[in-house]
Amino acid sequence: MMPRFGGQVWPATEVAPNTAKSAFADSPRGSRGTAYFSSLGGAPAGQTLLCYGSDDGGCREEACDAAPGAPVPTGYSLMVAREERICMLLAIDVGNSNIVLGTLVGGKVTRHWRVATDPQRTEDEYGVLFQGLLRNSDVVPADITATAIASVVPPLTTVLHTAVERYLRCPVLTLSRHHIPDIPLRVDHPESVGIDRLANIVGALDGGPGPLVVVDFGTATTFDAVSHDGAFLGGAIAPGLGIAADALFSRTSSLPRIAVAPPSTAIGTNTVTNMQSGLVFGYAGLVDGLVRRFERELQGCCRVYATGGFASVVAAASETITEVDPWLTLRGISLIYDRQHSRAR
What are the residue numbers of the active site? 196
At residue 316's C-alpha, the angle toward residues 315 and 318, to 5°, is 55
Residue type, 200: N
Distances (CA, A) of 182 to 4, 19, 80, 241: 42, 49, 41, 32
In DSSP notation, 273-334 reads HHHHIIIIIHHHHHHHHHHHHHHHHHTS--EEEEEETTHHHHHTT-SS--EE-TTHHHHHHH
Exposed/middle/buried for residue 180 (C-beta within 10 Å: 0-12, 13-18, 19+): buried
Report the candidate in 340, 333, 339 with the shortest Cα–Cα distance to residue 148: 333
* Alpha carbons 32 and 85: distance in angstroms, whole number: 7
Nearest Cα neighbor of 227 from 249, 201, 207 is 201
φ, ψ of residue 199 to 5 degrees: the values are -65, -40
Q: Are 146 and 337 in contact (CB under 8 A)?
A: yes
Give the C-alpha separation, 341 to 242, whole Å: 36
